[in-house]
Amino acid sequence: MSEGRGGFVHVSPSPHASPRNIIDAISEIQQYHIIERTGQDIPSDFLTMRGMLTFFMVGFRSGFWEGAFLGLLLPLGWGVWEEVIPAFGGTADLFGKCLVFLFGCGISLMMTVVLGGILAGYYGGNLTRKAINSLVWGRTASLVAKGLIVFCVFNLLVFILSPGNVYFVCEALRGVVGDPASFYRGIMEMKEPLRKSASTQLYLSPVLSLVPFVTLRLFGRG
């Protein structure tokens, strides 16, 4: 129990429920911020190693699912850009290509900026800073690791989709896919979008992981 300027506020180093998702983590951070804003001097080691790991893992899971979403949209965007996948009822013009391509990247960037902006509003005080840093570092580790994984998986797919392997699959699914020649051509044309998606994912993930740090640096209250 800690004494603030307005009375006593109960602070437990072992909360009744650890944050399980990003909303729970932000709510916990808000509580820390309110406590420290009252003038109570809470040491940074109040957040134990278990608490730091909990925030780290919440950030890791958040970054993983966000990265997986981006990983699924990039082949679609590159497929439209390379005119392999039709969009808007046919071949998209330059504006349509940019719109589809930026859809996935824009959503990921917006989510990252919004999160950084929310956390920047509470980035003050020893305990709150420690919790936020653990959360952000978890997202960073997840996004970078996911970028490497997606890069390897997409390039492995490109390697596996050799002409011989694709031809074998088309022949095996002749009665299912309709026209085997069109199916073969569609798969082979997707190799280049997959290759470009792998490189884009590898370079974009570290950039997205840096956005919260930049936001905290520029707009943090501390």
Read off the pLDDT of residues 78-108 as tens digits, 9 standing for 90 and up. Answer: 888 887 877 766 666 777 777 877 776 777 7
**Domains contained in the chain, number:** 1
* Average pLDDT of the segment spanning 45-72: 84
**pLDDT given at position 158:** 92
* Average pLDDT of the segment spanning 49-67: 87
- The answer to whether residue 3 sits within a structural domain is no
> Which helix (H) or strand (E) element contains residue 220?
none
* Average pLDDT of the segment spanning 9-24: 64
- The answer to whether residue 21 sits within a structural domain is no
What residues have CB less than 8 Å from 101, skipping those under 6 apart? 77, 78, 80, 81
**pLDDT given at position 64:** 79
Per DSSP, what are the bridge partners of residue 90?
Answer: 87
Return the higher-pLDDT residue of 204 and 88: 204
Print the SS3 string covering 12-79: CCCCCCCCCCHHHHHHHHHHHHHHHHCCCCCCHHHCCHHHHHHHHHHHHHHHHHHHHHHHHHHHHHHH
- The answer to whether residue 92 sits within a structural domain is yes
- The answer to whether residue 4 sits within a structural domain is no
How many C-beta neighbours within 10 Å does residue 161 have? Answer: 16
- The answer to whether residue 18 sits within a structural domain is no
Per DSSP, what are the bridge partners of residue 4?
Answer: 7
Tell me 4's DSSP state: E
The Cα–Cα gap between 129 and 220 comes to: 10
- The answer to whether residue 40 sits within a structural domain is no
Q: Per residue in 143-202, pLDDT tens?
A: 889 889 989 999 999 999 999 988 888 888 877 777 788 888 888 999 999 999 999 888
- The answer to whether residue 120 sits within a structural domain is yes
- The answer to whether residue 2 sits within a structural domain is no
The Cα–Cα gap between 79 and 77 comes to: 5
Going by pLDDT thresholds of 50, 70 and 90, the confidence category of residue 4 is very low
* Average pLDDT of the segment spanning 65-73: 77
**Mean pLDDT score across all residues of the chain:** 81
Which domain covers residue 55, as residue numbers? Answer: 46-217
* 162 φ/ψ sector (left φ>0, alpha ψ -120 to 50, else beta): beta
**pLDDT given at position 209:** 84
